[in-house]
Amino acid sequence: MNAFRLFLHVLAASIWVGGQLVLAGLVPTVRRFGEDATRQVARAFNRIAWPAYGVAVVTQILIFPVFGLHTTLAQNLKMGAIFTIVSIARSFALRRVFEAIRMRSAQ
């Protein structure tokens, strides 16, 4: 059962974080399909990413004791909040980088 919980946690975290990196790499290509294409792709991805994030947080709570890490619910939620802030900052930075690349290539 612990192996399954760990598998779910790694899968969910991979979808959430890895998907953001893949999406960031696709942005320049997706923009070629129109102004609204990027927004539509991001919304579609969010329908998968946020549930995966929720699964990652829940399984984190279940997995930590297996590795001898005993944290309170508040500590788990705080870690989840930190991961969320880092993820949002990373997404913001990646968007700016790809926007700068797009602007340079358009000139």
In whole numbers, what is the pLDDT of the chain averaged over residues? 85
* pLDDT higher than threshold 80 for residue 40: yes
pLDDT above 90 coverage of the chain, percent: 13
Residues 6+ apart with CB under 8 A from 6: 59, 63, 66
- At 9-24, the pLDDT tens digits run 999 989 988 888 888 7
* pLDDT higher than threshold 80 for residue 99: no
Contact between 9 and 63 (Cβ < 8 Å): yes
